[in-house]
Amino acid sequence: MRIGQHLNLPPSKIYGVATFYNQFRFHPLGKYHIQVCRGTACHVKGSAALLEALQRELKIEAGETTRDGLFSLEVVACIGACGLAPVISVNGEFHAKLTTEMAVKVLKEYRKKEVVSSNG
């Protein structure tokens, strides 16, 4: 709203730009932002199953953040690591050639980091 007032533009124009570019967010990201690649190579190698497993484990849908603020989940068109498909990225750290079981294990490792850092 303040941006529109400052630029003398209606809120609909500001919203149009903000929803067009995926760098703009309406809600804060989780401490660990997970990007699931859904590019062609990742799709063929099973990224849809990875996404479903992550959503089930986190109890959120793509575009959401867990209640504790620890994880957010995003679907991206291509991460650019096609030879390593299927791939997810957590805060820029790539996890490659994943199975659904491996993806859930990745989440558990990040949760374990949180327990260690909060106790240490």
Q: Both 19 and 36 in a single domain?
A: no
Q: Are residues 62 and 93 in the same domain?
A: yes
8 and 37 share one domain: no
Query: What is the reported pLDDT for 28?
Result: 87
pLDDT of residue 55: 98
What is the strand order of the sheet 88-90 is part of? 71-76, 32-37, 88-90, 93-95
Please tell me the pTM assigned to this model: 0.84
- Position 120 scores a pLDDT of 64
Same structural domain, 63 and 114: yes
Range of the domain at 16: 1-25
Segment 80-120, tens digit of pLDDT: 999 999 999 999 999 999 999 999 999 999 999 888 777 76
pLDDT-based confidence at 3, cuts 50/70/90?
A: confident
**pLDDT band at residue 26 using 50, 70 and 90 as cut-offs:** confident
For residues 8-36, give the mean pLDDT. Answer: 86
Model confidence pLDDT, tens digit, residues 43-74: 999 999 999 999 999 999 999 999 999 999 99
Query: How crowded is residue 63: how many other Cβ atoms within 10 Å of its Cβ?
Result: 13
Q: How far apart are CA 82 and CA 78, in angstroms?
A: 8
CATH number at residue 69: 3.40.30.10
Confidence of residue 36 (pLDDT cuts 50, 70, 90): very high
19 and 37 belong to one structural domain: no
